[in-house]
Amino acid sequence: VIGVVIGKTDVRSFPDRKNIGTERYTFNFTIRDSPTYFINVQSWGREEYIRSLSESFRVGDCVTIENPLIQSKEAEREEKFNPVTPSCYKLLLSENHSVVKTSSCYDTDTRLLSLLHLPVKDPQDYYSLGDIVANGQSLHGRVLNVLAAVMSVSK
């Protein structure tokens, strides 16, 4: 699978249920290879493997994923923490079988660069900050998609 990385989480750790006293590490990212299709990728493993993999690319890089495991996603559980994707599958990376290679999008396919700026949500499925301010009471308790722009960043 070749695509541009459009989102990425930080590395997290969890207690390993099989080996009490040890931790398993994970991080997720989302790749896109067309205007319509994008998929979440999940990786689990030892700290060294996960940190090294996470540091090997960033959002905007093109990646080639070889030998991922394809799994059905548990939509309700997984889409709480990852982008909602049009696929009913996710890719799972294995330290022993999968390989992720990075390359310049210019070397791979310049069309992939334009995918980086396309929204992943239907343009009719969001609220602006103005909508939220004006209708805040009626929106209380609902999960919303928000469209906003960062105006400034400071300490």
Within a domain: 126? no
Cα–Cα distance, 67 to 77 (Å, whole number):
25
DSSP-derived 3-state class of residue 19: coil
Q: How many domains does the chain contain in total?
A: 1
CATH number at residue 60: 2.40.50.140
Per-residue pLDDT, 104: 64
Within a domain: 123? no
Buried b (16+ CB within 10 A) or exposed e, 98-129: bebeeeebeebeeebeebeeeeeeeeeeebee
Within a domain: 132? no
Within a domain: 8? yes
Find, among 60, 33, 56, the residue nearest to 116 by Cα.
Answer: 60
Q: How many residues does the chain have?
A: 155
Within a domain: 56? yes
Domain of residue 63, residue span = 2-114
Residue-wise pLDDT tens digits, 90-127: 999 988 899 999 876 655 567 777 777 777 777 677 78
Within a domain: 139? no
Within a domain: 107? yes
**Least confident among 64-78, 79-93, 104-118, 122-136:** 104-118
